[in-house]
């Protein structure tokens, strides 16, 4: 018997490939590779299959979200700068029937004015902002809890 694990797409947006070297006073010292490693480790415990993707391109992000409409149980996304202005990413997320959790490493509400508004936040299930790499792990945990009915909202 094959044990098919629910798939969770994790999308990291522009410049997040530079984590670890990029403004460490804002985003910390943890690399994207390390964040993905922690996610994969936690997913194994939760019996989920995490598929991480990083892109610096808006169209690639839109297409990845569109593909996730079938075959995925949830999406974790840090749209990075696109959060603040991409209606294309927002519309793609709005079309997805599975739970989407938006994550930001920094607290966008405590930063520059232009970062305080997310155009994508209103169409996702929930947002985690300011908790650093833990935000991704908490998002994964939340999706697992929603899937097994422990958190029904």
Q: Tell me: does residue 17 bind ligand DQA (CB under 6 A).
A: no
Q: Tell me: does residue 139 bind ligand DQA (CB under 6 A).
A: no
Reading phi first (left if > 0) and then psi (alpha if -120 to 50, else beta), residue 134 is in alpha
Burial class (CB in 10 A: 0-12, 13-18, 19+), 150: exposed
What is the smallest separation between the CB atom of 1 and ligand DQA, expressed in angstroms? 40
Is residue 27 annotated as a catalytic residue, yes or no?
yes
Residue 96-115 contact track with ligand DQA, rule CB under 6 A, x = bound: --------xxx-x------x
Q: Tell me: does residue 80 bind ligand DQA (CB under 6 A).
A: yes
Residue whose C-alpha is closest to residue 73's, from 21, 128, 125, 19: 125
Is residue 104 annotated as a catalytic residue, yes or no?
yes
What is the smallest separation between the CB atom of 78 and ligand DQA, expressed in angstroms? 5
Determine contact, residues 125/76, Cβ cutoff 8 Å: no
**CA dist., res. 149 & res. 126, Å (int):** 17
The nearer residue to ligand DQA, 47 or 109, going by C-beta atoms, is 109
Residue 39-78 contact track with ligand DQA, rule CB under 6 A, x = bound: ---------------------------------------x
Q: Tell me: does residue 131 bind ligand DQA (CB under 6 A).
A: no
Question: Using alpha carbons only, what angle is made at residue 111 by residues 100 and 21, rounded to the nearest 5 degrees?
Answer: 80
**CA dist., res. 33 & res. 28, Å (int):** 13
Give contact residues for ligand DQA (rule: CB under 6 A): 15, 78, 80-81, 83, 104-106, 108, 115
- Annotated catalytic residues are 27, 104
């Amino acid at each position: 018997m094959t044990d098919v694990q629910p798939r969770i797409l994790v999308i990291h947006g522009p410049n997040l490939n530079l984590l670890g070297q990029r403004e460490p006073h804002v985003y910390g010292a943890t690399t994207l590779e390390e964040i993905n490693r922690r996610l994969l480790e936690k997913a194994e415990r939760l019996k989920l299959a995490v598929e991480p993707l990083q892109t610096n391109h808006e169209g690639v992000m839109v297409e990845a979200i569109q593909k996730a409409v079938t075959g995925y149980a949830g999406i974790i996304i840090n749209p990075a700068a696109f959060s603040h202005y991409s209606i294309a990413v927002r519309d793609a997320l709005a079309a997805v029937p599975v739970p989407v959790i938006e994550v930001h490493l920094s607290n966008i509400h405590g930063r520059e004015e232009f970062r305080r508004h997310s155009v994508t936040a209103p169409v996702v299930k929930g947002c985690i902002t300011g908790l650093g790499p833990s935000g991704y792990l908490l998002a994964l945990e939340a999706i697992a809890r929603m899937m097994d009915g422990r958190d029904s909202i």
